[in-house]
Amino acid sequence: MRFKLILAFADDDKTDALLDAARAAGATGATIINNARGEGLKKTRGIFGLEITSARDVLLFLVEEHRCRQILETLAEVGEFDDSPGTGIALQIDVEDAVGVKHQIATLEESFKSHQ
């Protein structure tokens, strides 16, 4: 079974909605890294010229490759990543190998069998 890693970077107030949407699209779990900091094309400045940054989360999804594109598109839609700058991004990376996913593979295999 081949996997891809989806990384999504979004404001922390969207994390729960993104997790729910990813699961509905076929993700079987996620790892969340809280309090990341991001910077876009332009720094956001507030009062007295201080930089304004909102709390961001990094969401990591190890997903079966055939489900990856649907999950990625769902994250983009729910997170409104293409609607306006600074809302977040999501990307996928090929995974060469993975361990510790035995239970996830069993669940995915059962899911595939039930859809055939």
Instruction: Specify the pLDDT at position 100.
Output: 86
Look up the domain containing 70 and give its range: 3-114
Query: CA-CA distances (angstroms) from residue 113 to 26, 90, 107, 109, 110?
Result: 15, 29, 10, 6, 5
CATH of the domain at 95: 3.30.70.120
3-state helix, strand, coil in the chain (%, to 5): 40, 30, 35
Instruction: Specify the pLDDT at position 77.
Output: 96
Average pLDDT per consecutive 10 residues, the chain (116 residues; last block may be shorter):
94 95 94 83 61 80 94 96 89 92 74 65
Q: Which residues pair with 22 in a beta bridge?
A: none
Q: Residue 4 carries which side chain, given as an amino acid letter?
A: K
Instruction: Specify the pLDDT at position 40.
Output: 65
- To which residue do tokens 């069998």 refer? 113
Number of compact structural domains in the chain:
1
**Burial of residue 70, with CB atoms counted within 10 A of its CB: 0-12 exposed, 13-18 middle, 19 or more buried:** middle
Does the predicted TM-score (pTM) go above 0.85?
no
